[in-house]
Amino acid sequence: MAKNLAISVAFLISVSLAVQFGADAAGIAIYWGQNGNEGTLEETCATGNFEFVNLAFLPTFGNGQTPMINLAGHCDPYTNGCTGLSSDIKSCQAKGVKVILSIGGGAGSYYLTSKEDARQVATYLWNNFLGGSSSSRPLGDAVLDGIDFDIEGGTNLHWDDLARYLSAYSKQGKKVYLTAAPQCPFPDAWVGGALKTGLFDNVWVQFYNNPPCQYSSGDLSNLENAWKQWISDIPATKIFLGLPAAPAAAGSGFIPVADLTSKVLPAIKGSPKYGGVMLWSKYYDDQTKYSSSIKSSV
């Protein structure tokens, strides 16, 4: 009896540890939304490859503009055509995938003119995509898990204010995850200041299109040096290695699967802040099956 009890206790401890570490386990984040030929959001989550899906993008907001989502060939927001994504979002969340709205992007019309402008944008995001309410929710009644700052233009002002206002909404029940996609040169020109607030959960650093801090055929030093700076200087919960999912997905920075799994990941996985890998994007991942090839190594 005592022996059985000891075995049961040991088993329970091992299960609780597995749950504990499982919740903390590294994973893959993917951007979805900028190519109508990349499958549905529901299909993306059903692959089982991703812990986070960033919906790309809300490229128009701030400075009094009417915010407008752009999901390329997937749906037409001008005719309320994206509200049908609500069931896909809920399906993803039911599988444990966090679905996050990415604001900004490489081409867009966005900047914040003041602290008050940041507050208004936060209110809009809360009411239209998060836990608030609005008669014009672009993605229907699904409640997204958070907001991703993919700020690559405009100005570097007031993103810290926006992060603070959004973070405050976590007090109203469901946590609002904050993530960001800075470039690997440190500090990031756009959201470097905002990241210092310590309010960001996941920071997927773009280790591509930036030769001074990315991997190049066997040479790990640039990437490793940049990685060390990010994990030591940014007070985020987890830092992710952001990569193109195919050579065509970026101007430079693609890492062949064999190099990633045998050289790059072993060099960075030891960090307590290592969160996994972010990929741009689902469309390119479909071409190469990159996420499937690296999943067991992440």
The residues that are catalytic are 152
Asked if 188 contacts 149 with a C-beta cutoff of 8 angstroms, the reply is no
How many whole angstroms separate alpha carbon 195 and alpha carbon 150?
Answer: 12
- The answer to whether the bond into 187 is cis (omega within 30° of 0) is yes
Question: Would you list the DSSP string of 105-172?
Answer: ESS-EE---SHHHHHHHHHHHHHHHSSS--TT-TTTT---SEEEEEE-SS-SSSHHHHHHHHHHGGGG
Name the 3-class secondary structure at 64. Answer: coil
The two tokens of residue 39 are 């499958």
218 Ramachandran zone, left/alpha/beta (phi>0; psi -120 to 50)? left
Q: Beta-strand (E) ranges in the chain?
A: 27-32, 52-58, 60-61, 98-105, 109-110, 146-151, 177-180, 202-206, 238-244, 274-280
Name the 3-class secondary structure at 174. Answer: coil
Of residues 199, 205, 204, the one with CA closest to residue 177: 199
The two tokens of residue 149 are 């700052």
How many whole angstroms separate alpha carbon 12 and alpha carbon 111?
Answer: 51
C-beta neighbour count of 171 within 10 angstroms: 8
Question: Which positions ≥6 away from 232 have C-beta within 8 Å?
Answer: none
